[in-house]
Amino acid sequence: MRTRDLPALRSLGFGGAQIGNLYRALDDRTASEAVAAAWDAGVRYFDTAPHYGLGLSERRLGVALAGRPRDDYVLSTKVGRLIVAHDEPTASDLENGFAVAGDRRRVRDYTADGVLRSLEESLARLRTDRVDIVYIHDPEEPTDRFDEAMHGAVPALHRLRDEGVIGAWGVGSKDAGILRRFVTQASPDMVMVAGRYTLLEQDHALMVDCASHDVAVVAVGVFNSGLLSERRAGTGSKYDYADAPPELVARANAIARVCEEFGVSLPQAALAYPWRHPAVVNVCVGMRTPDQVRRNVDLMAGPVPGGLWTELIERGLVEENR
């Protein structure tokens, strides 16, 4: 069975950025309890990356999953950023979004050697002998690294998959254009689509390419950085990691009002929406605390009437699948 087809993917996934101190500090105990709560709720897909807290997310996830039956869950991490000692340490890495000491830094490397080194270091931080899925991480930032990845990371990951070292490989990005290039030219098993297939944004061209090339989709960023995470959006709501423009706040609230007519909350609909597309195999959400885990699990389990999607499409608030 291909990794992308494993039953563990067919439920809520645990995104590891939050336990890497995304935006604000989190203590080790709470991070471990969040992972434990996810496990107890039946979550069996866990995603992380070296980027998240300069390795902190991987280390915490490794500790929290220690002792769990390794064949009972799917684990993914990413390549493209090596974590090295910082020549000029800073007090904090908040400039890059993480509340950790800036004694290390990220070095972009999408070469074959970089992939192998990154994976080896991730395995050590995760305290495991294998990961199931490896994603090429943000190959569009800060400049387009498509060619470097195509000549280095892609053949290396194909080889690792064919040798059985990893179960599958893919690309993770919020840039739909570069994801389409990989889908049509590199034959990945899957893509992690960040914020581009949500209630607010539907990049149907990407989804059509994924379906036609038999590439599975893991949908992340389904709350669009927070704008869809509450019953109503307000001033200060975030969209793509920045303050949401007023027109998007208004649109989110228009969607929320329709949801309420059907007895559904906005975040519940946001979690449910991606599953409507046959290419989607998982919806993965960042979760910081046990309470957040339980909330999202409950939201995912709640029924969403099919008529909601019809009404949203008829009102021009959501585009129909094409």
Answer whether 85's CB lies under 8 Å from 102's CB: no
Closest CA to 267 of 242, 298, 310: 298
Task: Kindly name the residue from 23, 45, 52, 239 that is annotated as catalytic.
Answer: 52
What amino acid is encoded at 314 in this protein? Answer: E
| Rounded CA separation 225/312 (Å) | 21
Please classify residue 177 by burial: count the beta carbons closer than 10 Å to its beta carbon, then call 0-12 exposed, 13-18 middle and 19+ buried: middle
Q: Taking each helix axis from N to C terminus, what angle separates 153-162 and 112-126, rounded to the nearest 10 degrees?
A: 60
* Whole-number Cα distances in Å, 213 to 103, 176, 184: 42, 15, 7
Instruction: Mark whether 52 is an active-site residue.
Output: yes
Please tell me the distance from the alpha carbon of residue 145 to that of residue 317, in angstroms, as a whole number. Answer: 35
Contacts with 129 (C-beta within 8 Å, 6 or more apart), sequence order? 123
CA-to-CA distance for 309 and 288, rounded, in angstroms? 30
Q: Which residue numbers are catalytic?
A: 52
